[in-house]
């Protein structure tokens, strides 16, 4: 909950124009397969099927969620599986640990089968696939996908034929629904000539492309402001591009939301969330939002919020706002580091833009109404400016010792002192006017490990959270005193209700309100009821060791879990309650029985065991913190170590359980690093390629291979150092040595290698749009070919950390699958020929399930492509 995490919002996704069209035919599982010896058709069964259809309600409108075959796992005997072909032959049994359907075919003149009925809705022209687990103990077995029209007439089918598997085997069949098709079903089948026994389980159907809906929800506040009496709190709840944020009006005494109001926006300029909120002297509530730096006003008692317009153009944030006098408002922005005033319906830019050269953020502001001066907390790097609103004079106040910090994340002017928060350090500054009219900031106190935000002063003290308990700072005595009160939340704002300190904030259980009375020491921390619950954008996705697809929330954090092809019918809410306790997930990796989760900020590595209950602190457990290693003054220069790390975009694991994490450093630094952790060790962080981030990793043959990005952290100018080129490197755990393998000279676009993946002993990767294959045995590149000429990170630097993904799937050993830009593709392993399979604007990420289906995300929704 620190400024760094918040600034992540400054990294937006810009979609590329579509370059390819979705191929609706895709591939067919049985293409080229032998002609079946018998086809499962028959007049006798047609009448039965028509009867079955009469009992089915009319086809529901096309929906995005999973198509679920009722009793597809035979947990309920053969319910939902209609007989086809010859009577008998099929029995519900338990076989090798699975409830299943047994087809015992002892007759070489008869066929046996069962079809999923009622069938599922289908759309003509859409490709569908059926998946199953089959154990063919003897003879053969067939899995069919069948299409029918509204009368129940069979129009076409596709099938896959397997012989004596002797074990549970995944099988699939796919085909495009023909003209007139409105229904799709699955058939398990044993042919006329066949004699044998087969067991079937877990029959599932999917369309080629499925929107699986929202995966994560958030119910914690962001921008928070108290009214003057402290009886009401106004808090912004973040939404997504598709779902508008909400203002919640919270009654402190009742600990409940009394009103929820949507912030209006337009489709062309969606408002996603807001970090800034304040109450003006006239009682109006102002909200500052992103990514369009809009200012909103709410007049208490009304039912709507007014859109007052933008503080600046482009991709921009209002980070913080403060009340001036006479109902005016002061604010600060990303990305122009603008200081502005809003007064009488108009925005006025105050001073220079940016307010200091090279800065992008006025991240925090505080206002002194007596002096009519405003304090501006800047980044990157950190700066602190006193702005005289009457004269326009500016003075720099940040002590030199903090010049390497990223930014001033929070500022409060209260009790005649300025409280400045930088990377968990709370500075108490006494602002003094020099004889020549300039100002300086004398340090009264330095308080370490403080959480963001301090309270307004009361009785000579301010209050804040440190070491998980409420503490006070005595302004005159310059002393810190701890209480035993535990707010149990990330505080987003403080106020006073009479003589009781009130704080609002977010906890794993949702929004909480904390109350503390200094006179008695009595306190409570309780949940707020009726708060807005909004979907959260997906930041990262990956496959767990349990085969489920895990998602991590953007900015608000949280973890979502989706069980492939077993989702629910509601696209607007997650299938399972959001698992809370982790901040923004940047990477996920299944290794052994564990799921490793790389979390921003401070490049935290968590380990989660899906077989045990989610219980943050224990499971997942924090294994390593890349942000706690290194020195903020270093940047892997000569004689230097790494700077603290922030964004863990890459994970890889060795068979011995060692986990490797590649990362982007903290704000204002260029050198990412390789972190290494193994059970029983402390873990460590190494410089590998000075001046470059480590954004992709793969383990192969005893070494770790990594791809770098020439893009360092945010707040570094220029974004790409002149002449910088990414490289492949290898780290040898046996020697601790790092070897770089410069890309072949032919590669013209090479600002970032956003993926490396081990394939058949080689390392495949993408340098911008260039596919390369590296042979670790010879140390040489065997392939370098530009498959996507349009990929250009100079023009699109937002993708220089994350873009390409490569994966292999068990059922197709001849191809490597992947995604880059807005496309899913496959590459022929031998010829390196590219086939673009699917294009969808705004897609990101890639994860494969056990059936080799590919998952990606758009905004808050998880989607599946069936190759």
Contacts with Ca ion by CB under 5 A lie at: 73-74, 98-99, 105, 194, 201, 213, 568, 570, 575
Dist. CA 641–CA 843, nearest whole Å: 37
Pairing of strands 684-686, 673-677: antiparallel
Report the helix count and the strand count for the chain, using DSSP H and E.
Answer: 2, 67
Instruction: Please report how close the Cβ of residue 164 comes to Ca ion at its closest, in angstroms.
Output: 15
Tokens of 598: 């790389």
Least distance CB 104 / Ca ion (angstroms): 10
- In the complex with Ca ion, which residue's Cβ is closer, 495 or 564? 564
CA distance 273 to 263: 9
In the complex with Ca ion, the residue whose CB is nearer, 201 or 634, is: 201
Taking phi over 0 as left and psi of -120 to 50 as alpha, with beta for the rest, 487 belongs to: alpha
Strand 604-608 and strand 594-599: the pairing is antiparallel
Minimum CB distance to Ca ion, residue 199 (Å): 10
- Pick 210 or 645: Cβ nearer Ca ion: 210
Select 92 or 758, whichever has its Cβ closest to Ca ion: 92
- CB-based contacts of 3: which residues, under 8 Å, 6+ apart? 363, 364, 379, 406, 407, 408, 409, 410, 421, 423, 452
CB of 501 to Ca ion, least distance (A): 40
For tokens 């949507």, name the residue.
262
Nearer to Ca ion among residue 535 and residue 665 (C-beta) = 535
Task: Closer to Ca ion by CB, 165 or 685: give it.
Answer: 165
What the block records as the tokens of 153 is 């007439």
Buried b (16+ CB within 10 A) or exposed e, 518-534: beeeebebeebeebbeb
> CB of 220: closest distance to Ca ion in angstroms?
21
State the nearest-atom distance from the C-beta of 631 to Ca ion, in Å. 45
Determine the Cα–Cα distance for residues 598 and 606; give it in Å rounded to an integer.
6
* CA 35 vs CA 30, 110, 111, 680: distances in Å: 10, 18, 16, 58
119: Cβ–Cβ under 8 A, 6 or more apart, which residues?
Answer: 53, 56, 146, 148, 183, 184, 185
For Ca ion, give the closer residue by CB, 108 or 352. 108
To the nearest whole angstrom, how small is the minimum distance from the Cβ of residue 65 to Ca ion?
7
Which stretch of DSSP H or E encloses residue 610? none
Other C-beta atoms within 10 Å of 444: how many?
16
379 versus 544: smaller Cβ distance to Ca ion: 544
CA separation for the pair 456, 412 (Å, rounded)? 8
Beta bridge partners of 763: 758, 774
Q: Is 437 exposed, middle or buried (0-12, 13-18, 19+ CB in 10 A)?
A: exposed
- Shortest approach of Ca ion to residue 573 CB, angstroms? 5
Tell me whether residue 442 is exposed, middle or buried, using C-beta atoms within 10 angstroms of its C-beta: 0 to 12, 13 to 18, 19 or more.
exposed
Smallest distance, Ca ion to C-beta of residue 195, A: 6
d(CA 698, CA 707) in angstroms, rounded, equals 9
Distance, CA of 470 to CA of 241 (rounded, Å): 36
Token digits of residue 628? 């706690």
Shortest distance, CB of residue 385 to Ca ion, whole angstroms?
Answer: 48
| Closest among 495, 513, 505 to 457, alpha carbons compared | 495
**Which of 388/568 has CB closer to Ca ion?**
568
Q: Kindly state the smallest distance separating residue 106's Cβ from Ca ion, in Å.
A: 8
Smallest distance from Ca ion to CB 85, Å = 9
Q: Is 273 exposed, middle or buried (0-12, 13-18, 19+ CB in 10 A)?
A: buried
579 CB burial (10 A radius; 0-12, 13-18, 19+)? buried
Least distance from C-beta 72 to Ca ion, angstroms? 8
Residue with smaller CB distance to Ca ion, 342 or 562: 562
Nearest distance from C-beta of residue 80 to Ca ion, angstroms: 13
Q: Which of 786, 762, 752 is nearest to 698 (CA)?
A: 762
**Alpha-carbon separation of residue 839 from 17, 219, 809, 843, 863 (angstroms):** 10, 33, 19, 8, 12
Choice between 213 and 797, CB closer to Ca ion:
213
- Closer Cβ to Ca ion, 213 or 495, answer by number: 213
Closer of 575 and 646 to Ca ion (Cβ): 575
Which tokens is 721 given? Answer: 């150092």
Task: Name which of 243 and 417 has its Cβ closer to Ca ion.
Answer: 243
């Amino acid at each position: 909950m620190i400024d760094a995490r918040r600034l992540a919002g400054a990294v937006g996704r810009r979609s590329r124009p579509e370059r390819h069209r979705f191929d609706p035919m895709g591939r067919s599982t049985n293409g080229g397969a032998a002609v079946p010896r018998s086809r499962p058709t028959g007049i006798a069964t047609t009448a039965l099927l028509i009867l079955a259809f009469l009992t089915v309600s009319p086809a529901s409108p096309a929906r995005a969620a999973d198509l679920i075959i009722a009793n597809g796992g035979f947990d309920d005997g053969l319910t939902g599986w209609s007989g086809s072909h010859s009577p008998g032959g099929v029995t519900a049994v338990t076989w090798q640990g699975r409830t299943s359907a047994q087809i015992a075919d002892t007759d070489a003149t008869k066929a046996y089968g069962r079809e999923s009925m009622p069938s599922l809705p289908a759309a003509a022209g859409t490709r569908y696939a059926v998946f199953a687990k089959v154990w063919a103990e003897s003879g053969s077995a067939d899995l069919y996908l069948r299409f029918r029209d509204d009368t129940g007439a069979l129009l076409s089918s596709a099938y896959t034929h397997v012989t004596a598997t002797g074990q549970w085997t995944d099988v699939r069949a796919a085909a495009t629904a023909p003209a007139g098709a409105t229904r799709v079903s699955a058939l398990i089948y044993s042919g006329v000539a066949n004699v044998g026994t087969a067991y079937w389980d877990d029959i599932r159907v999917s369309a080629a492309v499925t929107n699986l809906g929202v995966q994560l929800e958030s119910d914690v506040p962001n921008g928070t402001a108290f009214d003057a009496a402290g009886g009401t709190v106004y808090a912004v709840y973040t939404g997504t591009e598709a779902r508008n944020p909400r203002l919640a009006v919270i009654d402190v005494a009742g600990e409940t939301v009394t009103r929820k109001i949507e912030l209006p926006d337009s489709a062309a300029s969606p408002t996603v969330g807001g970090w800034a909120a304040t109450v003006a002297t006239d009682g109006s509530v102002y909200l500052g939002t992103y990514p369009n730096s809009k200012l909103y006003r709410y007049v208490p008692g009304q039912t709507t919020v007014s859109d007052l317009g933008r503080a600046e153009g482009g991709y921009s944030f209002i980070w913080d706002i403060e009340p001036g006098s006479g109902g005016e408002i002061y604010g600060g922005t990303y990305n122009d580091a603008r200081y502005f005033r809003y007064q009488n319906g108009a925005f006025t830019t105050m001073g220079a833009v940016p307010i200091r050269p090279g800065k992008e953020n006025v991240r925090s502001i505080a206002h002194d109404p007596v002096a009519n001066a405003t304090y501006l907390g800047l980044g990157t790097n950190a700066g602190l400016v006193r702005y005289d609103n009457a004269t326009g004079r500016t003075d720099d106040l940040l002590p030199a010792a903090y010049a390497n910090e990223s930014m001033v994340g929070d500022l409060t002017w209260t009790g005649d002192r300025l409280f400045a928060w930088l990377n968990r350090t709370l500075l108490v500054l006494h602002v003094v006017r020099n004889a020549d009219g300039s100002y300086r900031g004398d340090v009264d106190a330095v308080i370490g490990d403080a959480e963001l935000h301090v309270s307004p002063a009361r009785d000579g003290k301010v209050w804040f959270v440190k070491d998980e308990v409420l503490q006070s700072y005595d302004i005159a005595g310059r002393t810190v005193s701890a209480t035993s009160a535990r707010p149990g939340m990330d505080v987003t704002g403080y106020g006073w209700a009479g003589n009781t300190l009130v704080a609002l904030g977010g906890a794993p259980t949702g929004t909480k309100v904390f109350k503390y009375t200094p006179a008695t020491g009595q306190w409570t921390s309780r949940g707020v009821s009726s708060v807005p619950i909004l979907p959260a954008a997906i930041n990262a996705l990956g496959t767990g060791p349990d085969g489920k697809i895990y998602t991590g929330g953007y900015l608000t954090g949280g973890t979502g879990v989706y069980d492939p092809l077993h989702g629910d019918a509601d696209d607007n809410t997650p299938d399972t309650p959001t698992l809370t306790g982790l901040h923004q997930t940047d990477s996920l990796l299944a290794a052994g029985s564990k799921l490793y989760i790389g979390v921003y900020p401070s490049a935290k590595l968590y380990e989660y065991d899906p077989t045990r209950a989610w219980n943050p602190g224990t499971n997942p457990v924090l294994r390593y913190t890349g942000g706690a290693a290194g020195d903020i003054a270093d940047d892997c220069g000569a004689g230097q170590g790494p700077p603290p790390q922030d964004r863990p975009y890459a994970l890889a694991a060795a068979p011995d359980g060692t986990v490797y994490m590649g990362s982007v450093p903290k704000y204002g630094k260029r050198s990412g690093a390789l972190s290494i952790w193994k059970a029983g060790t402390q873990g460590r962080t190494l410089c590998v390629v000075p001046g470059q981030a480590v954004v992709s990793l793969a383990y192969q043959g005893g070494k770790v291979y990594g791809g770098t990005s020439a893009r360092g952290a945010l707040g570094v100018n220029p974004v790409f150092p002149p002449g910088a080129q990414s490289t492949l490197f290898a780290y040898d755990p046996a020697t601790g040595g790092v070897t770089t393998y410069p890309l072949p000279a032919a590669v013209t676009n090479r600002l970032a290698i956003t993926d490396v993946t081990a394939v058949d002993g080689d390392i495949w990767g993408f340098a911008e749009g260039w596919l390369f294959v590296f042979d670790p045995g010879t140390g040489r590149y065997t392939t370098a070919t530009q498959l996507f000429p349009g990929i250009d990170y100079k023009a699109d630097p937002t993708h220089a950390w994350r873009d390409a993904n490569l994966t292999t799937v068990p059922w197709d050993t001849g191809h490597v699958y992947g995604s880059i830009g807005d496309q899913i593709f496959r590459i022929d392993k031998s010829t390196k020929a590219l086939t673009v399979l699917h294009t969808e604007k705004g897609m990101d990420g890639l994860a494969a399930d056990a059936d080799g289906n590919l998952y990606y995300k758009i905004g808050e929704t998880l989607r599946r492509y069936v190759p």
